[in-house]
Amino acid sequence: MRNFLSDKVTALKPSGIRKFFDIVNEMKDAISLGVGEPDFDTPWHIRDEGIYALERGRTFYTSNAGLKDLREEIANYLKRTQGIHYNPDNEILVTVGGSEAIDIGLRAIINPGDEVIIPQPSYVSYEPCAILAGAKPVIIELKAENEFRLKPDELLNAITDKTKILILPYPNNPTGAIMEKEDLEAVARIIKEKDILVMSDEIYAALTYKGKHVSIASLDGMKERTILINGFSKAYAMTGWRLGFACAPKEITAQMTKIHQYAIMCAPTTSQYAAVSALRNGDNDVEMMRQSYNQRRRFLLNAFKEMGLECFEPYGAFYVFPCIKEFNMTSEEFATKLLMEEKVAVVPGTAFGECGEGFVRISYAYSLENLKEALSRIENFIKKHRKE
Amino acid sequence: MREELLAILEKNSRIDFKELAVLLGVEEIAVLEELEKLEKEGIICGYHTLINWEKTSIEKVTALIEVKVTPQRGQGFDRIAERIYNYPEVKAVYLISGGYDLLVTLEEKTLKEIANFVSDKLSTLDSVLSTATHFILKKYKDHGTIINKKSSDEREVITP
């Protein structure tokens, strides 16, 4: 039989997390700090709204772009949190999680040979999505000494005459880094000057612990150059509902909607009804969860300090990204040994790009009790390997 | 910091000031000072423990009693409330708007003891006009805590 598989897909690297997942999954008593989703249940009023939608038989397709009510609430949300005005009729598209928005956002603008600039370490799907869209990914290796923020000179060096778009993943998974307004302004100047676009993945925007999150789309002259991506997974603890959204200039939204219409039809209807309640009545829930994450973040950073483990202070998402270079192991060796010897699972930094070497991602989407137990095991591990 | 401190303590009163300082991102001395203030101002009234007595061999019956009373001149409901809450078996007394005036939570070992309290002590008070006693059969949630909550982490062990 011939080889029927697509060369492009075959050439894609499988996610670095997968291999590790299989090992951890086998170990029954391991404590995992490897999860990239909230530990909270979806707030009850949101689940209740989903149940109510099912009871009333709201089980049909919605319009391709998503429920009008939901798009209007998204517009309100961005107005009240970021001061950006999006037209719910033609600038907002409800998607199946932020992931779909990343995929179709790139596909809507890429021509063969276009370059997509991807700062790493970052979420695992940008590079494959860019490749599948036919683009050439250009990686910027972010630096720990810059707290993994994107610096203007790094961006300038990556731009060529083929550059079409920059992906801006802040607050960042896996590093927890944020970009403050001054950082964004410097980047925005270059984007305008070089006439490129930006895809701002703000899925963790609500989980920011130093001032309020600022969207690059809110800066002068940037709304028309931005594909803003956000969703309900992280802020409202709704990962399994698979619901996100993209906001972009209407010309781009129209093309994205076309792909969405043919590939997906519409985002899950139950989830859309539930999400209306999330945006209307969920501010207090988000604040409660944010406060809780922030306490855990401080707890972890303090514990690392006491152990003498090097870690920059992250101000976003629910990850810390400590440096493990002192142990003379690769990230993968460190994570594997930690799992085998102390039964704690963390994710090697290299799962998020080669420049994640020397770091591991630790999630604090776990209860304090859980974190305490895991941290004492990590401390044992560190003490033992420092002696060697 | 006050609101966040109280929110933590309301869920876990055993947490020590050192850990509080870490969680709140402030100095230990600041936590100690704030705790002292909160106690002095009567904002923190106690550090209690939520016990599921049903799981012990100790018998307890809890009743919620609606009480209608005649308020007294110059004292309103305070005087009669005091006469009721001074009984140690009375766990809570609230002034209520609506169909009756006071809601009394009473805890005893047996149903009979509750009956005796109502007939001998409560109903015989001059200002008490009538009572209606409700027995608690099962506690599902108390003080914001779901009793018998089964918690297991159903998330995948590692996700990107």
pLDDT in tens, A246-262: 999 999 999 999 999 99
Helical residues (DSSP H) of chain A, grouped into ranges = 7-11, 16-26, 44-55, 68-82, 97-109, 126-132, 152-158, 181-193, 250-263, 269-281, 283-307, 331-342, 368-387
CATH code of the domain covering residue A348: 3.90.1150.10
pLDDT for A275 beyond 90: yes
Q: Do B66 and B121 fall within a single domain?
A: yes
- Whether A88 and A98 share a structural domain: yes
Token pair belonging to B26: 């402030």
Mean pLDDT of A217-224: 98
**Crossing angle between the packed helical segments B28-40 and B17-24, to the nearest 10 degrees:** 110
Give residue A154's pLDDT.
98
Contacts of B142 (CB under 8 A, 6+ apart): B50
Label residue A337 exposed, middle or buried (CB < 10 Å: 0-12, 13-18, 19+): middle
Q: Give the pLDDT confidence of A168-215 residue by residue, as tens digits.
A: 999 999 999 999 999 999 999 999 999 999 999 999 999 999 999 999
For residues B21 and B87, membership in a common domain is answered with no
Domain, as residue range, for A265: 44-281
**Under an 8 A CB cutoff, do A124 and B160 touch?**
yes
Q: Which domain holds residue B7?
A: 2-40
Average pLDDT over residues B71-83: 89
Contact present, A222 and A181 (Cβ < 8 Å): no
Res. A91: pLDDT tops 90: yes
Taking the C-alpha atoms of residue A51 and residue A143, their distance in angstroms, rounded to an integer, is: 46
The predicted pLDDT at position B95 comes to 96
Predicted pLDDT of residue A25: 85
Whether residue A205 sits in one domain with residue A157: yes
DSSP state of A86: -
Please tell me whether the peptide bond between A169 and the residue prior to it is cis, using omega within 30 degrees of 0.
no
Six-digit token string for A12? 């894609």
Q: For strands A92-95 and A244-247, give the pairing.
A: antiparallel
Provide the pLDDT for residue A136: 98
Could you tell me the CATH number of the domain that includes residue A88? 3.40.640.10
Pairwise CB contact (< 8 Å): B158 & A37: no
Instruction: Tell me: cis bond preceding A174? Omega within 30 of 0 counts.
Output: yes
Q: How confident is the model at residue B148 (pLDDT cuts 50, 70, 90)?
A: confident
A110 close to A133: Cβ distance less than 8 angstroms = yes
Is A256 part of a structural domain of the chain? Answer: yes
CB contact under 8 A, A299 and B24: no
> Which of A361-365, B61-65, B70-74 shows the lowest mean pLDDT across its residues?
B70-74
Q: Residue A295: its chain B contacts at CB < 8 A?
A: 8, 23-24
**Please, which residues have CB within 8 angstroms of residue B9's CB and are 6 or more apart in sequence?**
B15, B44, B47
Q: What is the mean pLDDT of residues B135-147?
A: 93
In the predicted model, is pLDDT for residue A18 greater than 80? no
Residues A247 and A343 in one domain: no
- Same domain, yes or no: A220 and A91: yes
3-state class (DSSP) for residue B67 = strand
If one counts the domains in chain A, the total is 2
Mean pLDDT in residue range A222-231? 98
Q: Identify whether A171 is preceded by a cis peptide bond (ω within 30 of 0).
A: yes
Q: What is the largest CA-CA distance in chain B?
A: 69
Question: Mind telling me how many Å the CA of A2 is from chain B's nearest CA?
Answer: 34
Same domain, B11 and B34: yes
Mean pLDDT of A1-14: 93
Mutate to test the interface with B, among A120, A291, A313 (most CBs of B within 10 A): A291
Q: What is the CATH number of the domain that holds B69?
A: 3.30.70.920
Q: Tell me, yes or no, whether A78 lies in a domain.
A: yes
Beta bridge partners of B61: B108
Q: Verify that A202 and A78 share a domain, yes or no.
A: yes
Q: Say if residue B86 is in the same domain as residue B21.
A: no
> How confident is the prediction for chain A on average, in pLDDT?
96
- For residues A196 and A212, state if they share a domain: yes
The model's pTM is 0.94
Query: Nearest Cα to A254, choosing from A73, A112, A62, A65?
Result: A65
Q: How many domains does chain B have?
A: 2
Look-up: residue for tokens 């494959």?
A: A128
Query: How far lies A239's CA from each of A38, A59, A357, in Å?
Result: 8, 20, 28
φ/ψ (deg, to 5) at B139: -100, 120
Mutate to test the interface with A, among B18, B151, B158 (most CBs of A within 10 A): B158
As a whole number, mean pLDDT of residues A31-38 equals: 95
- pLDDT reported for residue A388: 65
Q: Is the pLDDT of residue A306 over 70?
A: yes
Say if residue A16's pLDDT is above 80: no
User: Per-residue pLDDT averaged across A109-135, rounded?
Assistant: 97
pLDDT tier at B71, thresholds 50, 70, 90: confident
Q: Helix and strand tally (H, E) in chain B? A: 5, 6
Same domain, A15 and A104: no
Question: Looking at the domain assignment, is residue B18 inside a domain?
Answer: yes
Residue B126 carries which side chain, given as an amino acid letter?
A: D
Nearest-angstrom CA–CA distance, A36 and B135: 46
B16 touches chain A (CB under 8 A): no
Check whether residue A146 and residue A209 sit in a common domain: yes
B107 and B71 in a single domain? The answer is yes
pLDDT tens sequence across B109-128: 999 999 999 999 999 998 99
In a domain, A2, yes or no: no
* Residue A156 to residue A8: CA distance in whole angstroms: 29
Least confident of B16-30, B70-84, B121-135: B70-84
Contacts of A230 (CB under 8 A, 6+ apart): A98, A202, A203, A205, A244, A245, A247
Query: pLDDT band for position A20 (50/70/90)?
Result: confident
- The verdict on B129 and B101 lying in the same domain is yes
* Average pLDDT for A283-298: 98
Are the beta carbons of A37 and B155 separated by less than 8 Å?
A: yes
Last residue of one domain, picked from the residues A266, A281, A296: A281
Confidence of residue B88 (pLDDT cuts 50, 70, 90): very high
Contact A35 B160 (CB under 8 A): no
pLDDT band for position A19 (cuts 50, 70, 90): confident
Tell me whether residue B87 is in a domain.
Answer: yes
Residues in chain B: 160
User: Are B13 and B84 contained in the same domain?
Assistant: no
Contact across the interface for A125 and B160, Cβ inside 8 Å: yes
Write down the ipTM of this complex.
0.86
